[in-house]
Structure formats: structure tokens, C-alpha cells
Structure 1
Amino acid sequence: MTKIVVVGDPFVPATSLVKAAQQLDLSGTVEIKAFDWCLQQSREEFRQTIKIIEHEGPNDFELPEGLIAALKDATILLVHIAPVSKEMLQAARKLQLIGTCRGGLEHIDLAEWEKRPEVQLLHVIRNAEPVADFTIGLMYSVVRNIAYSYKEVQAGNWPQHFPNDQYKTSLSTMTVGLIGLGYIGKLVVKKLNGLGIPVIAYDVFADEEELKNAGYQLQLKDIETIFQQADIISLHLRVVPETINLIDQQLLRLMKPSAYLINTARPDILNKSDFYEILAQKRIAGAGIDVVWEEPIPKDDPLLNLDNLIITSHIAGDTIDAIERSPELLVQELNRYLKQGKSELLICHKNA
């Protein structure tokens, strides 16, 4: 018998995850046990809870009554952003697979999960396509001054000159460097390939031959070379201890004066003070970010004084169908994994 435990939340309720679980291609008897977490919270209140879990991790949250007991003989666990805590993982001794329909993994105690090599972790980024679209849009907006110009026109001005005047060109003449080739990064590659824009990339887990065989047109290089050569650098990394503040002054100072930095991933992979300094000193042409270190950004944040930075309000993945479709995307990828025994959305254990 296969026992599936699902834990819903105000964005993706348990009923949606149960429907997904019922569509899994499993043989034999299947039992599904459903729980909801924080369902009493409004969506706005729950956004604040998400911020807490993103910054403090999945432990120390009150869990639904009966969840720990249900996990003791569970083989599959499905969640959106409900915590997968140390206590839960320690209780789930028969667990084989965790499926989550969310890009970030802050809601999972990865340190505890690493101790369980028999437990596979598969995540579907519910808004991957919207984020990839937005990333390309932010590149155009920054390089071609779309947002800068709009802001000035709204203020009653008619700008013809911009901070990047000496570097203005079209994207077709530029090379884009991607830092991270997860699901979103690969979608960005596909879109850039369609536009005929050269791509170079850095990812410690990527294999260039495999990527090219899969249809991705790019060259893999080390991270220093990416920062030295790329005209636009776009960040697509997850936040793990190894990536926090990875993009610091040492790398930023390698960038061309004509280069731009784009971040639609997570703020913590970028050292804020070094990022501010590189822009304030006009060492690069500009930047565009959809993520900031504190939301909403404080009115006195020095980033707001920069004339070569575009900040959007964490809306890259915000489309009307992204969250609602996430359990559907999850079950599609889980069935692919169950049938083929592999998935590019499977998270690898460090020592695997």
C-alpha cells in the first residue's frame, strides 16, 4: 500500500493536492491523508507567514493536529509551502518521496533531508514560465530605458538622455550570462535562443553536452569568466548556505562598465552593500531587480536613490494561473518521474 500525506495552505488548499495525488500513476492500494496548514489566515496574513518561513526556515511552526502521526507510515508527502520540518522528517521513517509545487525550498529542512538519501525531493516551480518572461522583460526595460523613461514622463519630464547613454545598444549585440541553470534558468536560455541572443552560463551541476543534446544553445564557463565577458548577467540561483552573498564585490568588480545585472531569483544571493556600491560608483551600466532584502522596501533605503537601478515589487511570478495550476504541474512531473525514474526537477543530495 502507498500512503500519501498532503498538506495544503491558503494558496494551495489540501483539496487541490488531494486531486493531484489521485492522479498519480501508482499501483496497488493508495491511501491519502489530507491536512491544511494556516487555513484560518487570510491571503495577506499568509504572505507575512511566507516571509517568516523564507527567512527563518520550516521549524518552530505549529503543525496540524495528527500530521506527525500520519507521517509515521507515509511514503509520499505533497506540499506547496507548508513546512517540512525536522520533526516531520524524523517522524516519517518510511518516506520515499517529497513533492512540492514551489520554486524555493526554504520551507523544507534541507539539512535534515540530506540525512535521508532514500528520500527523493522533487519540486515544480509553479511560476517558472512567468518568471522567465519577466526576466527577459526586465532585461529590455533596463537596457532600453523603458522603465526609466516612463517614470520621468509620469513626473512631467521628457527625457532624451539616460545614465547608460554611452552604452546604449540593442540586445541582439549583447551576450547574456546566466548564473544558475535550474528550471527557470533553462527557460530563459530557450527564450534567449529564440531571440538569437548568445548565452553563456555557470552552473556547477550542468553538463554542456547534455544541455546541447536537449536543444539548449549555450556555452558553460566558470563564474569569473561569466562576470568578465557577459553584457547582461542574470541570477537564477536557489538560496542555500553556499550561495548566500555569493555575488559580492569580488565578482561585481569583474563586470564590464557597459554591463547590466538582473535578479529575479532571491535577494540573499547578492551582497547588498557591494551591489549598492557598484551602482553608486557607476562601475556598471545599470541593474534591474524584482527582489529586495526587505518587503516592502523602506522609503529610506539607499537603493531608491540610484538612477541606474530599476526595482519592481516582486511580481515576476505573479500571474492569475500560476498558483492554481501548480498541483497539476506537480502531478505531471511526479508521473514522469514515477514512469522514467528521473526528472530534471529532482533535487540531488550533496553526497549522491
Structure 2
Amino acid sequence: MKERIVILDAGSVGDDCTWPDFARLGEVTRYEISSTRDVVERAKNATMLLTNKVYLPKEILEALPHLRYVGCISTGYNQVDLPTAAAHGITVCNVPAYSTASVMQHTFALILDLASKITMHVNAVEQGQWEKSPQFCFWLQPAVELAGKTLGVVGFGDTGSAVARMGHAFGMNVLAYAPRPKPLPEYTPFAFVGLEELFAQSDVVTLHCPSTPESKEMVNAALLSRMKPSAFIVNTARGDLIQERDLRTALEQGTIAGAGLDVVSKEPMPAHHILHGAPNCLITPHVAWSSVEARNRLLHGVFTNICNFLAGAPTNVVK
């Protein structure tokens, strides 16, 4: 039987990547963007479905009788109802670790911006504030050296451990929280600690864990209140890890010194979002993963997963 492959949101990967030759594997129908309400009609005959951010809940999966494979164009797979997929014999595969270097780089870009006040001072220069200074230099807030400070990494998978190594390279002490045991890295100082201790001891907390029922909004007023008033929090993982109203309050009240976010709970970020205009809050539009190198690795991984599935040896199957 010829495979019928439907790509639901090819546009999410951009138009500057080299797409593998999916047509070698079957009949391909490609959509640049789809909404959940489009899926049943567009995929009614599909045997394989590729999705980045289009949700496939129970009622949609059950309405696609020919479907036997879902390929996530992502590392995350919470867009797919896994119990329903398993019940109907649908294999679901993701692409882990394709964006580790890019997300690590972006995480430290946010950390460095918060510490060195880059965006703040670029904007001040553009607004003409430097030219009014009686001194040769000018600053609104002093920079903070990272060397000797403590980096707290929540989640110690590929990305979390890469960020920790970079923190060590900057001369930071590293703490990490991992819900399951992990090997100790080769460098020191390093320690695995509990979540509350990590928040209390760290000068920078950075989140690198998946969104699960247990982790949703885990960063709330109680955890934020444990942080140093000079500390920063960074999130390049999933927006719903943070209770955003509590974060806004913490920023307004000076409970913490700043936040750097690449993700929020609703994306694209709406105009009325609670964090719009929050003080000392840097927000980028979910781009940490999106270097052209990472996106090319992602598409290659999606293609390889399908090839392996068709060969009877599926890889990166999510449970």
C-alpha cells in the first residue's frame, strides 16, 4: 500500500530549509498551516501525519481510520493524545536533541542580556540618553558578573546539561534539579539539589524540563518567593511551567530582579498577555530552537524516523 503522508504545518519550519524528499516514501500533501478543525478533512485518507504544533486530540485521532503513524516535527509531543494513539495502534515519533546547541546559545543570550543590560542600554542609546551624559560612559543599571555566581538548572537532559556546561565555562557554580537520578558531570563545583533549595541558592534559574501535569505552573509565588531579590529566571522550555501572574507580581514587587522568556503560556503572545510591559522582563518569540542548522537537523530526523518505521525498526517512539 502506498503511504499517504500529510504535512499539517510545514510553514512552522520556515522556507529557508532543505526538505528531504518525502515523495520517495509515498504520496505527499503539504499544508503550510492548519488549524485543529482542518485536520479531519485534510487527513481523512492519511496513513501518516506530520505535525509541529497542530493538536491531535482523541476525537481527531479516532476520526482518522487509516492513520498508523504520527511524526512530530519537534522534540515535544504533547500535541498528540498518546493514550488514544496507543489504543489505535498509531506509532508516534519525535526528534530529540536536534536543537540542543541552539537552545543553549539562546538561553545564555538571555542570561547575558539580563546580566549585562544589553537591550536596556541599546534602547537608551537609541533614545538619546547617552548623549546627555556628563561622563564618557553611562548606565541605567550596573552590569552583574556571572563568574562566581550560582546557576540553577531545572531539568538535566541534553539541553539542561549543555547549559550547565556553559555556566561552568563562565565560572559559575552549578546546581541542578532532576526528578530522576542522573550521572554527575565531570566538572566542579556541581551538585544535584531539591527544587526549593535550587531556587533559594541560585543567582540565575533556568528551566529545561518538559510540560507535564506535574510540572505545569510549578514556578509559582511560593517558589519565586524563595529566590534572591538579585536573581534572574530564564525559561526556554515551555510557557506553562510558570504561573505568569505570579511572575508579574514578583517582578513588580522586586521579589526577583528580572526574567528572560522565549516561551509563554499562549502563543503567539496576545496583546493583553499578563507579561506585556512587565518590568525587567525580556521576551523573545519562541525562537530558541530555530537556527537554520537546527531546523535542517529536525527535518532530517523526521525523515529518518519515517524511513525506520517503514523498515520495521521505528526510532524515537514516544510512550
Question: For residue 269 of structure 1, what is the aligned residue in structure 2?
Answer: 241
Counterpart pick for 2:207 among 229, 235, 241: 235
Task: Give, in whole Å, the separation in 2 of the partners of 1:34 and 1:146.
Answer: 49
Q: How many residues end up aligned between the 2 structures?
A: 305
Task: Give, in whole Å, the separation in 1 of the partners of 2:298 and 2:263.
Answer: 21
Residue 284 of structure 1 and its aligned partner are, at CA, apart by 1.1
Q: Which runs of 5+ in 1 are unaligned?
A: 23-31, 53-57, 72-76
* Residue 191 (structure 1) aligned with residue 166 (structure 2): yes
Counterpart pick for 2:147 among 150, 172, 185: 172
Question: For residue 27 of structure 1, what is the aligned residue in structure 2?
Answer: none
Residue 143 of structure 1 and its aligned partner are, at CA, apart by 1.2
Structural mapping, 1:93-112, within 5 Å: 99-112=71-84
Greater shift, 316-325 or 299-308, is seen at 299-308
Residue type of the alignment partner of 2:76 = G
Residue 254 of structure 1 and its aligned partner are, at CA, apart by 0.9
Cα deviation per residue 1:195-244 (whole Å; 9 max; x = unaligned)?
34332222223x222x538x898432221111111110011232232222
Q: Is the Cα contact below 8 Å between 1:100 and 1:123 reproduced in 2?
A: yes
* Residue 310 (structure 1) aligned with residue 282 (structure 2): yes
* Residue 64 (structure 1) aligned with residue 37 (structure 2): no
Residue 91 of structure 1 and its aligned partner are, at CA, apart by 6.0
Task: Give, in whole Å, the separation in 2 of the partners of 1:334 and 1:17.
Answer: 11
* Residue 204 (structure 1) aligned with residue 204 (structure 2): no
Question: For residue 134 of structure 2, what is the aligned residue in structure 1?
Answer: none
TM-score, normalised to structure 2, is: 0.76
Q: Is the Cα contact below 8 Å between 2:239 and 2:265 reproduced in 1?
A: yes
Residue 89 of structure 1 and its aligned partner are, at CA, apart by 6.8
Cα 1:254–1:315 change in 2 (3 A) is same
Q: Which runs of 5+ in 2 are unaligned?
A: 131-137
Residue 251 of structure 1 and its aligned partner are, at CA, apart by 0.8
Question: For residue 10 of structure 1, what is the aligned residue in structure 2?
Answer: 10
Question: For residue 88 of structure 1, what is the aligned residue in structure 2?
Answer: 61
* Residue 137 (structure 1) aligned with residue 137 (structure 2): no
**Percent of pairs identical after alignment?**
25
Q: Secondary structure at 2:80's aligned position in 1?
A: coil
Residue 17 of structure 1 and its aligned partner are, at CA, apart by 5.4
Cα deviation per residue 1:179-209 (whole Å; 9 max; x = unaligned)?
223433233233334434332222223x222
Residue 62 of structure 1 and its aligned partner are, at CA, apart by 2.9
Task: Give, in whole Å, the separation in 2 of the partners of 1:185 and 1:92.
Answer: 39
Residue type of the alignment partner of 2:106 = F
Q: Secondary structure at 2:152's aligned position in 1?
A: strand
Q: Is the Cα contact below 8 Å between 1:259 and 1:285 reproduced in 2?
A: yes
Counterpart pick for 1:160 among 128, 136, 139: 139
Q: Secondary structure at 2:26's aligned position in 1?
A: strand
